[in-house]
């Protein structure tokens, strides 16, 4: 009976054979689908006896999160050299961010090659790799506090505001753009604190409700992961009750650094789900924005957690930070984008690294971002292709990396405008000095030469401004 059935892939009788334009793909080459699984955390000596049930419990993760350099060094004994231990100790003495690293995150680092590991680079500073800050760098480079009508609320864009209900996170990133406020005070930085206080929240809610142009609220911090379930409900209900609010984004790095919470904190996930569903009934959008920077951060545990969000109908978008030695190659960025799509996360933005204190070793050039975007686009569907942006220093907001008025590659100065935010103002981004030519580095050592380079860049940009009707 099967003798007359057509062969799959063969042309029907009387139809000429079709020649495939592309050769068949070997499934083993689809590395974006190959996620780390199994008890990988048992590679850490202190966790060799930790069961899967324990490791997947967010309470266990929180209890064993490392918050002091001494504890981190203690956990690494036997895995790294004494020289590396000393490098870490001095690195934290100089870092503007305090320490907070989850066991999950720590177990993903390749401790046989710690200097090269992209996760270690993001979360554990080593003194030997630190570089002097750029002379134009400031602690609050985005001027979030300057655009804050109430404490912990930034209103910069016409219809959007950033609400910071708290100042803690499940982990602390070295490169945090809010190192002026997040975490404990460090040796070099006395922080501005935004504690989870109801009176401060009510002040922010009153302002939001009083501004009919505000439609979009980002609930960040800190990190929405650290809000209690009741607080997720309180904030979500308050914002959804405002007629002017159409969109709410809960921002969290949690899925990248502690996906166990989604798997084991039912109350938190239920509270978020309820706000998403209520928003949908009110025809308002409530989504999650998260933060993966490297494909190593996406494991089988990540996929299981994000499957929960998918089943609950919760949209998740990703915002990456472009970092030297982490994701600044085409191969790595392409794999990250493809892997995010595989676990149902939409790549949204890739930020050129902000001018953050103490992490000059992580910054790269605007030109790098332009080349990456050029190579990434076309790798996958457009809705899963991120936009590469510069968050313009000084409060200009997010600008497409290509949209500069001028870009002096020799001296590393790009000039942007943001007409919808501040008409007539110029915003300058500076490439890291160590990636400039020796001659340019010499010019940056002289204050008068710095001023001349900046003035020349602005003057060139001013000459390009077109009067639009």
Question: Mind giving me the DSSP string for 365-382?
Answer: -HHHHHHHHHHHTTSS-G
What local confidence, expressed as pLDDT, does residue 285 receive? 98
What's the CATH fold of domain 153-401? TIM Barrel (3.20.20)
What local confidence, expressed as pLDDT, does residue 167 receive? 87
Residue 414 to residue 304: CA distance in whole angstroms: 42
- Residue 352 has which token pair? 């050129």
List the chain pLDDT tens, one digit each, 469 residues.
444 544 445 556 666 665 667 788 899 999 999 999 999 999 998 899 999 999 999 999 999 999 888 888 888 888 999 999 999 999 988 887 778 999 999 999 999 999 999 999 999 999 999 999 999 987 565 555 677 899 889 998 899 999 999 988 999 898 887 554 444 444 444 434 566 778 899 999 999 999 999 999 999 988 999 999 999 999 999 999 999 999 999 999 999 999 999 999 999 999 999 999 999 999 999 999 999 999 999 999 999 999 999 999 999 999 999 999 999 999 999 999 999 999 999 999 999 999 988 899 999 999 999 999 999 999 999 999 999 999 998 888 999 999 999 999 999 999 999 998 888 899 999 999 999 999 999 999 999 999 999 999 999 999 987 765 3
Please classify residue 174 by burial: count the beta carbons closer than 10 Å to its beta carbon, then call 0-12 exposed, 13-18 middle and 19+ buried. Answer: buried
CA-wise closest residue to 291 among 332, 344, 347, 226: 347
What local confidence, expressed as pLDDT, does residue 230 receive? 96
- pTM of this structure: 0.90
Count of alpha carbons within 13 angstroms of residue 270, beta-carbon side: 5
For CATH 3.20.20.70, the residue range(s) in the chain are: 153-401
CA-wise closest residue to 359 among 125, 100, 92: 125
What does DSSP assign to residue 149?
Answer: S
What local confidence, expressed as pLDDT, does residue 195 receive? 66
């Amino acid at each position: 009976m099967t003798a007359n059935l057509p062969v799959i892939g063969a042309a029907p009788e009387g139809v000429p054979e079709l020649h495939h334009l592309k050769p068949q793909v070997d499934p083993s080459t689809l590395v974006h689908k190959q996620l780390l699984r199994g008890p990988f955390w048992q590679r850490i000596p202190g966790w060799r006896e930790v069961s899967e049930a324990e490791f997947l419990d967010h309470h266990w993760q929180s209890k064993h999160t490392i918050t002091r350099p001494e504890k981190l060094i203690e956990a690494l004994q036997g895995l790294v050299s004494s020289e590396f231990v000393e490098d870490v100790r001095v690195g934290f003495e100089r870092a503007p961010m305090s320490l907070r690293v989850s066991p999950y995150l720590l177990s993903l680092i390749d401790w046989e090659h710690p200097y090269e590991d992209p996760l270690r680079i993001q979360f554990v500073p080593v003194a030997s790799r630190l570089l002097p800050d750029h002379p134009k760098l400031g602690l609050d480079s985005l001027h979030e506090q300057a655009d804050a009508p109430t404490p912990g609320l930034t209103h910069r864009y016409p219809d959007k505001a950033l609400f910071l209900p708290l100042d803690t996170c499940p982990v602390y990133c070295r490169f945090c753009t809010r190192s002026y406020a997040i975490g404990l005070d460090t040796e070099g930085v006395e922080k501005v604190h935004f504690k989870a206080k109801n009176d401060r929240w009510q002040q922010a809610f009153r302002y939001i409700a009083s501004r009919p142009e505000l439609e979009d609220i980002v609930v960040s911090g800190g990190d929405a992961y650290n809000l209690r379930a009741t607080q997720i409900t309180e904030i979500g209900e308050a914002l959804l009750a405002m007629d002017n609010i159409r969109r709410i984004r809960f921002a969290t790095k949690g899925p990248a650094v502690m996906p166990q919470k989604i798997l084991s904190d039912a109350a938190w996930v239920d509270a978020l789900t309820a706000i998403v569903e209520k928003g949908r009934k009110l025809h308002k959008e409530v989504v999650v924005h998260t933060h993966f920077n490297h494909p190593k951060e996406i494991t089988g545990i990540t996929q299981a957690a994000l499957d929960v969000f998918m089943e609950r109908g919760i949209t998740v978008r990703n915002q990456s930070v472009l970092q030297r030695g982490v994701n600044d190659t085409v191969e790595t960025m392409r794999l990250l984008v493809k892997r995010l799509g595989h676990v149902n996360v939409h790549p949204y933005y890739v930020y050129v690294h902000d001018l953050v204190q103490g992490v000059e070793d992580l910054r790269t050039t605007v030109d790098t971002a332009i080349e990456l975007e050029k190579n990434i686009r076309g790798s996958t569907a457009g809705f899963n292709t991120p936009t590469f942006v510069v968050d313009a220093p000084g409060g200009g907001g997010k600008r497409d990396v290509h949209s500069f008025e001028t870009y002096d590659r020799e001296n590393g100065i790009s000039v942007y405008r943001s007409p919808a935010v501040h008409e007539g103002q110029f915003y300058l981004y500076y490439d890291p000095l160590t990636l400039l030519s020796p001659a340019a580095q010499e010019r940056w050592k002289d204050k008068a030469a710095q001023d001349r380079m900046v003035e020349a860049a602005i003057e060139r940009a001013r000459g390009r401004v077109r009067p639009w009707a």
